[in-house]
Structure 1
């Protein structure tokens, strides 16, 4: 019996690949579809970290690595534009692979699923005669902002960064100027901004959108489409889980009291400056809380300096950027690691009481699914919007107060951690986080809303495939 195949195309973003692997796994193992995951790369060779995520896909998912753009190509300036270039350069290869898959009678091609950057390959779906779906790996709030952006762009005068009034979207937290994605803060005459608006317009040309969220996290998910008539399906929270085995971080956590540890990580892409890294260290020491810090070497100019992943064993792994005496002063109190840390397992450990995070959506969902309150420290992309939503709308985060030149002092680091760990505010957040965890677990259960939504879409793809 034929098993319809879904072709998934992921742009070279670490934060996209993680949920794409999980989506492909669920389609293959839970919903009876064959799944082929194409993952592009922006660097040659791809980073070890990026390849490790792809390799975590189960045997049921067929993996195809797409090459990085030719070395002679001039690299665009921003991470988003580099990712777009990596996808665009591979469209002929994607078309060739789609044709080969379509010729397989045992696994007829049923759908093409892309991320927001991969919408550039929409012509391939049209040529193959299959529906094009987008898997949006950020929250519904950001998706709503993008879908409304062409209208906002036409109605607004002046630069978005200078707007006094926030953007108000149905069911979403008001988005103030400083909370907008970086591409919207660029000059509206710039190519970066023009490319962002162009991408937003192209997103409306898909047949449906899967969003890595749930109505428990974002009750308005899918609402307020204002006549766009685009079906939106919350199918999350899809988080990356893989066996951890015997890891030093987990052994250390086993020795700590319940709810006593602060976990600090800025994700696969987030980086701080040397000065801010040192100040964070001093803030952790000042807080006098137990901590695990998954630290990365500072980057002086880019908050997303590790956006495309890091090369294991090819970087300076010393901790010479930490303040003198820090390791000695916090010995027994904290654990610092500059190697891969099993984040989902750490957040799921009963000793962890809060998570200092850059508010990447994957990290937020991993915190939510484990019922851990957050200290929000956004760095780039839509993370400022995510931070506002988690604090104001969802009620499971406190935002660290940002000073001059976006610098956060050691006193504010310690204060934000204490707010999340002790007192009435911490108690309220823990209660809300626990409720959200239980609802999210149910969403992903056999009878949960997200599981049912994905099953319905899988059935649509199966039916459309059988009619060919």
Structure 2
């Protein structure tokens, strides 16, 4: 017998890097006939409508983000504020609890998916709704934290558990960042990791946007720890772009030979420090390769042009562009002239990187999950090269950028051959026919089983 259709509500962290993957997951679920209600701030909805491929089944439900002290007026998502305001935005999100309760009573979904709103599982339970804590950044950050806690209690590797430290090694400056994340108050007086752990303990199941083929040891750890059933949605690959690449970029890229251009991007919200911005572009100049950088202006500058080193534009004219606006990343990575991708290792960009045929240079920025992603791809899979940074200060140099680019772009070197082959292997796994659809089908079956357990 055909399983009944589900109605799933989604309310995730107010950041495009969290909302967009959930819209993409909603498309996969709607394709199978399920109904999805996604809670999205009112003015932000227009930015996402083009991603809704099944508007008869996927509804964007407006949420009003209340103003709290310290939050800029009208701010709705992380793209409206700088990083220092993220905890305050989380406080505002916590203040939507009554709105969310009212909407859940009206909509009557079977399941609600959340990530950071640790109060949502108890609210859902009171209303007879199952809750799923879903992480779009994969298993690494929360799993590594739990592993460290167990290590601290046992003073060694917990017996019978995978040794995650042999897979992910943190440098001194990263250990400091990891510790600061543990101590970070993230909205309403709640520590960031406590928020995640309270949500996972209170939810009915925990789920992750990834697959065993990439994060198998971390799945094993979570399952062995026995907290909750672990569901995997698979990689949730974005649908192919239907619009063509902007003619300006297509023409410029078309002027270079196949696989020769280095493309570099750091996501839509991150600003490099001025000194690191200059080291990056000088490193690309030093490589001698044609390049396209898509980055926000560094901190303290109104434009990328104003932050460029003296004489830089004249020296690279014709072979290098530093662009401060939005670009069609997915289409640029597919262009035959692009042969290398320098990525900040955010979850969305990391997936696009693995799906591309570009060689990978890994340059994680501020967030600890990006460091985990970089270390996993460079050390566990040896499918990319990470830019070397200072052990203590975490700073990279133009020489380290140039070295990483040349290492992956040299098809004859041992490193070049190794990362090329390993990247191709991962890409082939992700693009295997029915690979993603089997994960989504199984994810749906597990959600159905969750409802049957009521």
Q: TM-score, normalised by structure 1?
A: 0.81
Residue 119 (str. 1) matches residue 105 (str. 2)? no
1:263-274 matches, cutoff 5 A: 263-274=263-274
Tell me if the contact between 2:71 and 2:85 (Cα under 8 Å) persists in the aligned partners.
no
Q: CA deviation at 1:269?
A: 2.3
Tell me if the contact between 1:19 and 1:239 (Cα under 8 Å) persists in the aligned partners.
no
Q: CA deviation at 1:256?
A: 2.4
Q: CA deviation at 1:85?
A: 1.6
| Structure 1 match to 2:79 | none
Q: CA deviation at 1:156?
A: 7.3
Tell me if the contact between 2:182 and 2:192 (Cα under 8 Å) persists in the aligned partners.
no
Residue 245 (str. 1) matches residue 244 (str. 2)? yes
SS in 1 for 2:37: strand
Q: CA deviation at 1:68?
A: 2.5
SS in 1 for 2:38: strand
Tell me if the contact between 1:125 and 1:131 (Cα under 8 Å) persists in the aligned partners.
yes
Deviations 1:392-434 (A, max 9, x none): 0011121211136433221222111111211331222111111
Candidates 419, 422, 426, aligned match of 1:429: 419
Structure 2: gaps of 5 or more residues: 73-81, 157-161
Relative to structure 1, the CA distance from residue 335 to residue 84 in structure 2 (aligned partners, 3 Å threshold; closer, same or farther) is same
SS in 1 for 2:120: helix
Structure 1: gaps of 5 or more residues: 103-108, 158-166, 301-314
| Structure 2 match to 1:164 | none
| Structure 2 match to 1:351 | 337
Q: Larger relative contact order (C-alpha < 8 A, sep ≥ 6)?
A: 1
Candidates 51, 57, 72, aligned match of 2:52: 57
SS in 1 for 2:98: helix
Residue 219 (str. 1) matches residue 246 (str. 2)? no
Tell me if the contact between 1:147 and 1:201 (Cα under 8 Å) persists in the aligned partners.
no
Separation in 2, partners of 1:135, 1:452: 18
Relative to structure 1, the CA distance from residue 74 to residue 333 in structure 2 (aligned partners, 3 Å threshold; closer, same or farther) is closer
| Structure 1 match to 2:399 | 411
SS in 1 for 2:242: coil
Deviations 1:265-317 (A, max 9, x none): 111222111222122221111111111110210015xxxxxxxxxxxxxx945
Deviations 1:62-109 (A, max 9, x none): 11232223144668984552343232111111111111111xxxxxx2
Tell me if the contact between 1:181 and 1:383 (Cα under 8 Å) persists in the aligned partners.
no
Q: Give aligned pairs, total.
A: 426
Tell me if the contact between 1:170 and 1:223 (Cα under 8 Å) persists in the aligned partners.
no
| Structure 2 match to 1:390 | 377
Residue 81 (str. 1) matches residue 87 (str. 2)? yes
Q: CA deviation at 1:147?
A: 4.2
Separation in 2, partners of 1:237, 1:28: 17
Deviations 1:317-338 (A, max 9, x none): 5612112322222122123322
Separation in 1, partners of 2:285, 2:221: 46
Separation in 2, partners of 1:197, 1:465: 28
Q: CA deviation at 1:246?
A: 4.0
Higher helix share: 2
Separation in 1, partners of 2:175, 2:40: 28
Relative to structure 1, the CA distance from residue 349 to residue 246 in structure 2 (aligned partners, 3 Å threshold; closer, same or farther) is closer
SS in 2 for 1:220: helix
Tell me if the contact between 2:182 and 2:191 (Cα under 8 Å) persists in the aligned partners.
no
Separation in 1, partners of 2:452, 2:378: 46
Candidates 382, 387, 392, aligned match of 1:400: 387
SS in 1 for 2:47: helix
Tell me if the contact between 1:22 and 1:238 (Cα under 8 Å) persists in the aligned partners.
yes
Deviations 1:327-353 (A, max 9, x none): 222122123322211111112223222
Q: TM-score, normalised by structure 2?
A: 0.83
